[in-house]
Amino acid sequence: MNSNITNEGLILACSAIGAGIAMIAGVGPGIGQGIAAGYGASAVGRNPGAKGDVTSTMLLGQAVAETTGLYGLVIALLLFYANPLLNRFLKL
C-alpha cells in the first residue's frame, strides 16, 4: 500500500484537527456564563437592592471564565496561521 501523504500534509492536517479540538474550549465558558447570568438575574429579581453588587460580581466571574475560551482561540489561531510545528518537523 503506497500512500502519497507528505510530512507537510500530515502536519497541516493534524494542526487543523488540533485547532478544532482547541475550539471546543469555548463550549465550557459559554455554558458557565449562561448559568451565571441566569443566577444573577434570579438574584436581582429576589433582591433588587443588591443589583450593583450582584452585577459586578457576576461580570468579574464571567471575565475570568472567558479566559479559558480565549486561550483556546489563541491556540487554534496559532495552529492555523503561525503553525510552529511546520518549520520544526520539516527540518528533521
* Amino acid letter, residue 89: F
Q: Is residue 67 part of a domain?
A: yes
Number of domains in the chain: 1
Q: What is the domain-level CATH number for residue 51? A: 1.20.20.10
Is the whole-model pTM more than 0.75?
Answer: no
Domain hosting residue 73, numbered range: 27-83
**Per-residue pLDDT, 90:** 65
- What pLDDT tens digit does each residue of the chain (92 aa) get? 567 888 788 888 888 898 889 888 888 888 888 898 898 889 999 999 999 998 898 888 888 888 888 898 898 888 888 877 777 766 65
Q: Is residue 91 part of a domain?
A: no
- And the C-alpha cell for 8? 507537510
**Per-residue pLDDT, 92:** 57
Rounded to the nearest 10 degrees, what angle do helices 51-77 and 7-23 cross at?
170
* Amino acid letter, residue 17: I
Alpha-carbon distance values, 90 to 6, 9, 55 (Å): 10, 11, 51
Q: Is residue 76 part of a domain?
A: yes
